[in-house]
Structure 1
Amino acid sequence: MKTASFFSLLIVVQAIVQSAWGADLAPSGVDAWRVGTPMVTYWAGPALTDAVAQQMAEGGFNVVWCSEQQLDTAQRHGLRAQLSDGLLRPATLDDPAAREKLDALIARVRNHPAMYSYFITDEPSAGAFPPLGKLVAYLRQRDPAHMAYINLFPTYANNQQLGTSGDTVTAYREHLRQYVDIVRPALISYDHYQFAKNGDNGQYFLNLAMIRQASLDARLPFLNIVQACTWTPSMRVPTGDEMTYLVYTTLAYGAQGISYYVYCHPGHTGAIALPDGTPTLIYHALKSLNREFTAIAGQLQPLRSLAVYHLGMKPDGTVPLPPDAPFRLEPAVPDMEYRVPERVRGFVLGYFGQANEPTHVVVVNLDYKAEATTTVIGPGRLELFDAISSAWQPAAGARAELKLPPGGGRLLRLAR
């Protein structure tokens, strides 16, 4: 009788919970969301037709934005889908009728093979974090296998936009802290657009460094949204070599996702495709770069970003290479004065490994206007990763000579 009464009580409690929230919870045993294949996506794209999906797949994109009706299109082309729907907003939870519709939407899409994430909002102020946190928790409870996606402001947002106070670093760090603590996201995503007509924004690496640290502290992956267009006379359209620089610096700092602003959108010039669907020069550059990103980030996924060091110019937020660094460059790279808005020149070394032992390094040529030749010296025999073939190749012992294209990089590791 006690056992029967206990189970009867459980049934009553479950019924109360389901009545209060309007839908069954996710089935037990459903795995929590994981990145899986490193994310390559975009912002502001066209409606997902078969022709668009094919172009995106051929371009190396693997996460697309779509409606519920377009999930099948994504699946046909082997793409993961980020669902966009007007019900995916905090106000829905305060309206019983709208919440019931949201519950029905979740029930319909959570088992779809293409489903990957839910788009929630872009660049919220800290004051919006509590209701966003409730919505993220609501979605996670009902569909833990699919991420609730929110994108954050860059460092150059003002205090009113961020909803925090202080200088650039203080306000932004507090914005990130509140976001992680209150919203409890599965991923940290942000945007930063640095290519202006008169030069480069000086906070690109500061922003990367702060996002990297927040992601490490929270043990969350992060995604970087980078510039692929101009939308105002003060900004410029990036070149293919500048896109290479954005991809490889993002890798060196440990991102598991990259996104491009924009794919195609009115009022934006450059981008990845024209309004009639014609691919741009940026699209053709990204066809290879996207696959390189996926291959290298996939190799780094089981590892932890241990350090990022800059040689040559050192913008705000960067750290110089210590004298006893296990991976170093020859010849030694001299310090160079950096002044905004000039382009950064020198190298980045991103260290990766398990525990605190660096076993992998991403080396990036920061000059997106010139090739660079250097030699990596490691603490043991080295191997180089070919991002095109996804194969490791032996180097000449503990030395590896690199000829890096403008803005390009290579992944190396200690031989196994």
Structure 2
Amino acid sequence: MQSPHRTLGPSRRTLLLGAGATVAAAAASTGPAIALGASPDAVGAEPAAIPSPDQLPLTGGPEFPIGIFWPPHPYASTAERYAEIKEAGFDFIISGNYAGDGNIFQYQLGLARTAGLKMLISDDIQIRNMSRWFSISDNPADFLSVTPGEARALYIRARDAYGSYSSLAGFNFYDEPGPGWFGTLAKAVAISRELAPGLLPYINLFPSDDPAYYRNFVDVVKPSLISFDRYPLLSDGREDANYFHNWAIVRDAALHGGIPSWVFIQTLAYDNHREPTAAELLWQVTISLAYGAKGIQYFTYWTPEAARGEGFGPALITVDGQRTPRYAAARSINTTWLHQVGRELKPLISESVAHANETPVPNGAVGFTPTDYVTAINGNSVVVGTFHAGTADRWLLVANRSHSVQARAIVLPNTTKVASVGLFQPSTQTYAPQRPSQVPLYLAPGAAALLKLTAR
């Protein structure tokens, strides 16, 4: 099992996703057979243009995407269960939990469509055969490889099997690839863009403290987004000492590529990790937003059963389908705060992240220093993300550094630069005017506030 402290290797999510391989053969029912040796037209066509994230499902549009991994298993996939997911403020599902058969995928896509949800399908027989189980190579002598023409045939089969469902957002190509797979993933993503430019080619990365891992992924694969998982809430009340460092290098890689960054948050206890409180769920979300996250994913929604190992505790829904207190907490976070604040932040560009009033700062973090817009931040420890929209105005996401105690912070804007300050009110989705000389903030454990600084 992958520890979040290590760089690469088999991980907990890879183990769960591997469940699909055990039923991969059933996915042949998803469409008419296409021989691997087939050579569809336009195999040698020019590479497809890279669509802007604004043009794709989930990354595009005004709504902030909130997703789940490990949804209800096939026997629990009902209209009521999918409505329950939507009720909790989730927008999309990454398939899993023993769903590997093409007929099951189609059934779940129908449920998602009715509930108003999107899905990223983890198709083991078509998509994974071109992106994970086999490499893509022009050399037929390469071991365990498919040719580009064969890869295109596999993608066409998946696209045609599921593409009629408006709930299809895209395909889950690979969870936590090592750098050796980046070349094949670049070819797979290019095929996806050529054959279905309106679908999202999704890849999630390892936790890592190596900036080159993420930079190379961006440069080689040219992905539509960068997603990673790192779970900071360790046993005995500890935090992962390199959580902020990992976020800092992912943020840098996303800005380098001009693409959104997504993250998974921890909803359950498992080996060496504790069960989160409601405040700790919120804390993971607000810290991620401060570091520029443009999408939040919950690991997990449904609880993995004990036979999977790793000591998984109850998630949002227990293994037998009961709601836990974390379901209510996630629903409150998603529906009363995250969607509203996320909608404000989604189009903005992350300019900086700083830790104020924290000594020493965590590994990889940067301490606050005065800027053109803020002369000081006094009080308790907070994490401050600064954003812009290509204009002189600035937005500050001020997050409580603590997930256990309230924070009081006073933001002192530079009044020679800032004409007015507004405090975002999620309930009305408006900015309430504040005194421009100083803005006191009272933040519950794990909470955050969004300020808009209008320039003179």
Where on the TM-score scale, by shorter chain, does this alignment land: which range?
0.7 to 0.9
Residue 321 in 1 paired to residue 368 in 2? yes
Cα distance in 2, alignment partners of residues 324 and 197 from structure 1: 37
Residue 212 in 1 paired to residue 251 in 2? yes
Secondary structure at the residue paired with 2:383? strand
Deviation at 1:377, TM superposition (A): 2.4
Partner of 1:286: 330
Selected match of 1:178 from 211, 216, 228:
216
Partner of 1:59: 88
Residue 311 in 1 paired to residue 361 in 2? no
Q: Is the 8 A contact 1:68 1:83 kept in 2?
A: no
Partner of 2:65: 39
Q: Is the 8 A contact 2:393 2:454 kept in 1?
A: no
Secondary structure at the residue paired with 2:403? coil
Deviation at 1:134, TM superposition (A): 1.0
Cα distance in 2, alignment partners of residues 328 and 309 from structure 1: 13
Q: What does 1:166-245 correspond to in 2, within 5 Å?
A: 168=209, 172-198=210-236, 199-232=238-271, 234-245=272-283
Cα distance in 2, alignment partners of residues 397 and 271 from structure 1: 43
Selected match of 1:296 from 322, 341, 346:
341
Instruction: Give the letter for the 1:257 counterpart.
Output: G
Cα distance in 2, alignment partners of residues 101 and 325 from structure 1: 53
Q: Is the 8 A contact 1:203 1:316 kept in 2?
A: yes
Deviations along 1:356-408, whole A, 9 cap, x unmatched?
74511001111111112222222331111122332322223443322111010
Q: Is the 8 A contact 1:349 1:361 kept in 2?
A: yes
Secondary structure at the residue paired with 1:383? strand
Selected match of 2:314 from 267, 270, 277:
270
Instruction: Give the letter for the 2:450 counterpart.
Output: L
Residue 359 in 1 paired to residue 397 in 2? no
Deviations along 1:101-125, whole A, 9 cap, x unmatched?
5313213433532121211111110
Partner of 1:115: 168
Q: 1:22 to 1:69 in 2, by over 3 A?
A: farther
Instruction: Give the letter for the 1:353 counterpart.
Output: H
Instruction: Give the letter for the 1:370 counterpart.
Output: V
Q: What does 1:327-366 correspond to in 2, within 5 Å?
A: 327=374, 332-333=378-379, 346-355=381-390, 357=392, 359-366=394-401
Q: Is the 8 A contact 2:127 2:158 kept in 1?
A: no
- Gaps in structure 1 of 5+ consecutive residues: 1-15, 156-167, 334-344
Deviations along 1:153-203, whole A, 9 cap, x unmatched?
112xxxxxxxxxxxx4xxx21111221122111010000011111311101
How many residues align structurally? 371
Deviation at 1:131, TM superposition (A): 1.1
Secondary structure at the residue paired with 2:353? strand
Q: Which moved more, 1:393-402 or 1:243-252?
A: 393-402
Q: Is the 8 A contact 1:382 1:399 kept in 2?
A: no
TM-score (norm 1): 0.82
Instruction: Give the letter for the 1:316 counterpart.
Output: N
Partner of 2:25: none
Cα distance in 1, alignment partners of residues 315 and 60 from structure 2: 26
Residue 74 in 1 paired to residue 103 in 2? no
Q: 1:98 to 1:380 in 2, by over 3 A?
A: closer
Partner of 2:143: none
Deviation at 1:77, TM superposition (A): 0.9
Q: Is the 8 A contact 1:351 1:361 kept in 2?
A: yes
Deviation at 1:355, TM superposition (A): 3.4
CA RMSD of aligned residues (A): 2.7
Partner of 2:207: 154
Instruction: Give the letter for the 2:257 counterpart.
Output: A
Cα distance in 1, alignment partners of residues 122 and 106 from structure 2: 8
Partner of 1:19: 41
TM-score (norm 2): 0.75
Partner of 2:78: 49
Q: Is the 8 A contact 1:223 1:259 kept in 2?
A: yes
Deviations along 1:10-41, whole A, 9 cap, x unmatched?
xxxxxx98436499x99xx9984243322111
Secondary structure at the residue paired with 1:124? coil
Q: 1:407 to 1:178 in 2, by over 3 A?
A: same
Cα distance in 1, alignment partners of residues 391 and 173 from structure 2: 36
Deviation at 1:137, TM superposition (A): 0.9
Cα distance in 2, alignment partners of residues 22 and 144 from structure 1: 17
Q: 1:211 to 1:250 in 2, by over 3 A?
A: same
Deviation at 1:281, TM superposition (A): 1.2
Q: Is the 8 A contact 1:380 1:398 kept in 2?
A: no
Cα distance in 1, alignment partners of residues 333 and 317 from structure 2: 16
Q: Which moved more, 1:143-152 or 1:318-327?
A: 318-327
Instruction: Give the letter for the 2:66 counterpart.
Output: V
- Gaps in structure 2 of 5+ consecutive residues: 1-37, 96-104, 137-145, 307-311
Q: Is the 8 A contact 1:380 1:397 kept in 2?
A: yes
Instruction: Give the letter for the 1:266 counterpart.
Output: E
Instruction: Give the letter for the 1:245 counterpart.
Output: W
Secondary structure at the residue paired with 2:68? strand
Q: Is the 8 A contact 1:22 1:99 kept in 2?
A: no
Q: Which moved more, 1:183-192 or 1:49-58?
A: 49-58
Partner of 2:32: none
Deviation at 1:229, TM superposition (A): 1.0
Secondary structure at the residue paired with 1:369? coil
Cα distance in 2, alignment partners of residues 371 and 149 from structure 1: 37
Instruction: Give the letter for the 1:290 counterpart.
Output: N
